[in-house]
Amino acid sequence: MNITPRVRFAPSPTGYLHVGGLRTALFNFLFARHHDGKFILRIEDTDRNRFVDGAVENLISTLHWTGLDYDEGPDKGGDYGPYIQSKRLDIYRTHAQELIKKDKAYYCFCSPERLSMLRQEQKHTKDQAKYDKFCLNLTPEEIQKNLSALKPYVIRLNVPQNQIIEIDDVIRGRVEFNSETLDDQVLIKSDGYPTYHLANVVDDHLMKITHVIRGEEWLSSTPKHILLYDFFGWNRPVFAHLPLLLNPDRSKLSKRQGDVAVEDYRAKGYLKEALINFVALLGWNAGDDKEFYYMNELIEKFSLASVNKAGAIFNTEKLNWLNAEHIRNKNSVELLPELRSALKNSVYDESFFSDEYLTKVIDSMKERITFVSEVITKSPYFFAEIENYDPDVIKKRWTVETPVYLSKLSEEFSLLNNPGKEDFENALKKTTENLNLGIGKLIHPLRLAVSGMGAGPGVYDILFIIGKEKTIDRIKKAIEKLS
């Protein structure tokens, strides 16, 4: 690539960050990093009716959490700021006036009532709903009179008639639109704020954006943007429109069918590495069967040429699988903050457990969980004493002779000094030999005694983690309760 790419993620602060927005941000980030370019965050907050307090801070926090660190943005600055559109209003008005002088835009003073009547007529005649250019024919004197009288107005794009507008899209190839299908888009609203269409084109040019990588839903708006580039006499950026995100039934991904906010997945305990890995595969692959990626691998492999046209299925089962895989591939010490966070939200006192203890617990459970919080729910015996014993396991594994066997085993354990896993294992084998028993006669009821369950990590792992004293105590209590 001859030029250094400059790409941007330009969300509207209307609430939480949608996973589709995360995918757009990620693909921009990967493209920039792959080509040693710049990734810019710009906040498009000109739709004041949809603005949500705190959304900007939430967006920034979420991007930082995912590791999508941008080079320029509201909290970082840069050579092309401000990076919040509501702080750039004079820039848009100046450019709108430039279009008016070139007869590429015009004042529209039509009342909401007239526009409503126009829409009703077009609906009745089954014509396309679009503005009829009524105010384009106002004389300069009429325009000045209305402006002097402070009559409310918008500024509209003067779309040329019957013109073919071509888009060369990296992902979709050549796409053509006839200008007859385009409305005379509002560029400046009656409140003085620009619409997305004017603001994003002006900002992309002034911020020297080279590639516009965004969702497929913006493809139909792109001919309006191309007209603006041409009217201003600016070079067009390269366009790449990403495929839609779909539910398994191929309907468009929406909140009605499940979680769509990145924050929802974070709260449920998905690792950022797993979420990024999963989202990267929504519409992109490197041309092989590889599915497990770290960020540095994604940066190395990413190419817009490998992005698919077809909609991408959001498969939660794959996300869960990736989360489990990333847990297994992490060092247990790295997972400690996740477990401590889960403990703080549980009934247990997080401060009671040392890092060393919790690391051992994670080591024993890593292969058995999809979420770190399942360390707690699937092995509560590491965090509290046994209150209940699985009745099915009791029925299957606890016999009349079991208390005698476990008492002998407990005696053997009591002779151990600071035992490790092998010491517990050797003591159990010695006991079975002395009692002339199969190992199952001891190991299964032992697991029940120390965990209350019939399955879990290796029983010697449990004994080593909870320690000799607690092991002996739990055996004693189980004998008392179950005999």
Q: Which residues are catalytic?
A: 255
Contact 145, 153 (CB under 8 A): no
> Using CA atoms, how far apart are residues 359 and 382, in angstroms rounded to an integer?
12
CB atoms inside a 10 Å sphere around CB 229: 15
Per-residue exposure over 406-423, b if at least 16 CB sit within 10 Å of its own CB, e if not: bebbbebbeebeebeeeb
> Using CA atoms, how far apart are residues 64 and 6, in angstroms rounded to an integer?
19
* Cβ-based burial of 291 (10 A; exposed 0-12, middle 13-18, buried ≥19): middle
Write the DSSP string, 53-70: TTHHHHHHHHHHHHT---
> Using CA atoms, how far apart are residues 284 and 2, in angstroms rounded to an integer?
24
Report the candidate in 180, 153, 158, 185 with the shortest Cα–Cα distance to residue 104: 158
> Using CA atoms, how far apart are residues 251 and 313, in angstroms rounded to an integer?
9
Q: Would you state the structure tokens that stand for residue 325, as one six-digit string?
A: 């895989």
- The dihedral built from the CA positions of residue 338, 341, 342 and 348, taken in this order, carries a sign that is positive
